[in-house]
Amino acid sequence: MSKSENFDIGRFERLLQAKGNEVVNRAPKIVADFAHNGEKMMEQAIEDAETATGQRRASAPAKTGSDASHSPGRIDSGLMINQVNSRSESDGTMHTGEFGWTGEQMEYFLLQEDGTASIEGMNALNSAFIAAREQAITDLIDAMKGSI
């Protein structure tokens, strides 16, 4: 004669699998939001990155008939900010998103981003990446909390 207790983890495993599938189903949107939000945050960081040159430009009389900006930020012709874009892809199992200067980069963008001895780096891509990544992690955690 024996006496025993057992613990069947199978029910818990099935629950986790079902709930995990819900999280996986939300992943494409979370990744797409990461890319889109990162793009918008990066554009805002470029607009907000004031320089002495930009401050002089903003305080000067507006140019007429010119495409030049009257912004104290890093926007003059608009080329650098207009090259910021994002994309996301999902093939059902792999979800990827990216943003930044994903097309042809001009060396000038990188000089503005990273800085030089005479140009303070704007750090737009890195700061946008950190903020967008943190939001994506929060979204994933919320998806998991809502699933269990």
What are the pLDDT digits (tens) for 79-117? 889 999 999 998 878 889 999 997 777 888 999 999 999
pLDDT beyond 60 at 148: no
Report the predicted TM-score, pTM, of the whole model to 2 decimal places. 0.76
Greater pLDDT, 26 or 76: 26
pLDDT tier at 118 (50, 70, 90 boundaries)? confident
Least confident of 9-18, 28-37, 78-87: 9-18
Integer Cα distance of 129 and 33 in angstroms: 12
Greater pLDDT, 23 or 12: 23
CA torsion sign for 67, 71, 77, 78 is negative
**Region 109-138: what's the mean pLDDT?**
92
Q: Where are the domains of the chain?
A: 25-51+67-147
pLDDT tier at 32 (50, 70, 90 boundaries)? very high
Integer Cα distance of 142 and 39 in angstroms: 22
Q: Over the chain, what is the mean pLDDT?
A: 82
pLDDT beyond 60 at 136: yes
User: Where is 53: in which H helix or E strand?
Assistant: helix 52-59
Integer Cα distance of 17 and 7 in angstroms: 18
Which has the closest alpha carbon to 147: 61, 46, 27, 39? Answer: 27
